[in-house]
Amino acid sequence: MVLWARSEASADRACASVEQAARVVTDLAELSACTIVVEAIAEDPQAKRELYKRFAGVLSDDAVLATTTSSLSVSELAAASGRPDRFGALHVFNPVHRMELVELSFPDAAAESTRARLREFCARLGKTAVEVPDSAGFVVNKLLFPYLFDAVRLLERNGLDAKSIDTCMTLGAGHPMGPLALLDMVGLDVAASIGQSIGCEVPPRLRELIAEGKLGRKAGAGFYEYD
């Protein structure tokens, strides 16, 4: 398995995280022998299109390209990739090592062989794949983000701290992680972008934290402080 990082700094961070699970590289040409390539950059359609242009001269003709998007149009990304018959969305969930689900979504042009290869890939990862329509948010985020944003509004209204709300939902509803801790893990900027894409009003408190640069775990602060 090969993990391509766009910079040396990103490669160093990846090496610290993946340990022996993947070989970390910064040369895009290292992906030329890969049969399935999963793109997981920012939820920015222009950034994804530019990356796909770079892939065009590197990936083999038979390689399947998958994106981890859950908020952008899979059909539009497939068209931008130049290989719509070998394209799909493969949406995993955080924390990846604990969450069993993968939402799979395909453009109409996706070949049956592409669909079968991505289903098999999910099975090899030990995940359960569910095929969902090409609709912003798919199933989980469409239902999840209104709940997460309601937790932020509750925090704004009732004076409870983040830990109290999260404890209520982990112990009272059996959730593996509270909504505010989950937002921090997702990244508050990413959460706001996903919310907007599915038509959810982003709570003022979330916008305030983003403006302060408190984007969650990756920034060292969000609804919680991190070392």
Summarize pLDDT for 58-106 with one digit per residue, the tens.
999 999 999 999 889 999 999 999 999 999 999 998 778 888 999 999 9
Measure the CA–CA gap between 220 and 212, rounded to whole angstroms.
Answer: 12
Q: What does pTM read for this prediction?
A: 0.84
91 labelled catalytic = yes
Catalytic hit among 48, 83, 91, 142: 91
Task: Please give the average per-residue pLDDT across 136-151, as a whole number.
Answer: 96
pLDDT in tens, 7-58: 666 666 666 566 567 788 888 899 999 999 999 998 899 999 999 999 998 9
Among residues 70, 104, 131, the one where a domain terminates is 131
> In this structure, what CATH number is given to the domain that contains residue 214?
1.10.1040.10
* HEC string for the chain: CEEECCCHHHHHHHHHHHCCCCEEECCHHHHCCCCEEEECCCCCHHHHHHHHHHHHCCCCCCCEEEECCCCCCHHHHHHHHCCHHHEEEEECCCCCCCCCEEEEECCCCCCHHHHHHHHHHHHHCCCEEEECCCCCCCCHHHHHHHHHHHHHHHHHHHCCCHHHHHHHHHHHCCCCCCHHHHHHHHCHHHHHHHHHHCCCCCCHHHHHHHHCCCCEHHHCECCCECC
Residue 180: its pLDDT value, please? 98
User: C-alpha distances in angstroms, 225 versus 96, 114, 221?
Assistant: 22, 42, 4
**Residues 156, 201: one domain?**
yes
**Residues 42, 70: one domain?**
yes
Residue 154: exposed, middle, or buried by beta-carbon count in 10 A (0-12, 13-18, 19+)?
Answer: middle
**Residues 63, 127: one domain?**
yes
Cβ neighbours for 222, distance < 8 A, ≥ 6 positions apart: 183, 184, 188, 209, 214, 215, 216
**Residues 90, 145: one domain?**
no
Inform me whether the pLDDT recorded for 126 exceeds 90: yes
Average pLDDT, the chain: 92
- Look up the domain containing 97 and give its range: 32-131
Measure the CA–CA gap between 121 and 106, rounded to whole angstroms.
Answer: 15
> In this structure, what CATH number is given to the domain that contains residue 67?
3.40.50.720
Question: Any idea which residue has 């530019």 for tokens?
Answer: 50
**Residues 103, 166: one domain?**
no
Residue 198 lies in a domain: yes
Residue 3 lies in a domain: no
